[in-house]
Structure 1
């Protein structure tokens, strides 16, 4: 997924940890929102901050490690979803649809926790391999 120029030197999980610890610029968050259609109210819930605080960030100001980690998790999820569904639009449609395997909840409802994102990654794997619950 585009929009993460600071990820160009990320080759493995150890590199991701370094990026998380040093923080990701708010500009990367803005790019993720533009690419995925995640709204400001949704992202503030996901990264656990207020709309007002988020607006005060300069584009180059770095998010804290917890927020940076969540941003990387989202980027990886949306990148994987785009790969599995063949397009970002297809994945976004799935994210906004009730899914039987998720107790008829929308996948977007699980973005506020790491376990929820892991569940969605697992579900994408099942979809990719034709396993539907």
Structure 2
């Protein structure tokens, strides 16, 4: 299994919020995007910014905003958990595209654009970890 280089994975919500408030380097967006095998356009959409904004933040070596940092850190945690559970990013991404009963038969990838949506997908993974149908 791979992991995201130079990016600590927040284990709980308190550490996630603290890390987001402290700031996350824009380079973490690219590291996660490559790890998760997402296009720049999809990554920008998940963070509610433009691809140009991501490029500018990286070029200026700036930290991303707290809201974008919280979404990014939540995605990092989710994808690491999914990779661990399914054995690979490819398997996890396949599952993200499948309709899930707990999400009213919508695929989990439709929920990755908000903190609440990411949390709902995490709950699905938790059900699978505990042996229940997602």
Determine the structure 1 residue equivalent to 2:39. 39
**Consecutive aligned runs of 4 or more in structure 1 exceeding 4 Å deviation:** 10-15
* Distance in 1 between residues matched to 2:14 and 2:120, nearest whole Å: 23
Closer/same/farther in 2, CA of residues 111 and 69 from structure 1, 3 Å limit: same
Contact 2:75 2:118 in 1 (8 A): yes
C-alpha separation in 2, matches of 1:86 and 1:7:
20
Deviation string, structure 1 residues 42-63 (Cα, Å, up to 9, x no partner): 2222211122222222253210
Superposition pairs of residues 1-133 of structure 1, within 5 angstroms: 2-7=3-8, 14-58=14-58, 60-132=61-133
Aligned length: 132
Unaligned residue ranges in structure 2 (runs of 5+): none
User: Taking structure 1 as the reference length, what is the TM-score of the superposition?
Assistant: 0.84
Output the aligned Cα RMSD: 2.3
Distance (Å, rounded) in 2 between the aligned partners of 1:85 and 1:67? 26
For structure 1, which runs of at least 5 residues remain unmatched after alignment? none
Q: 2:129 and 2:13 mapped to 1: Cα distance?
A: 23
Deviation at 1:36, TM superposition (A): 0.7
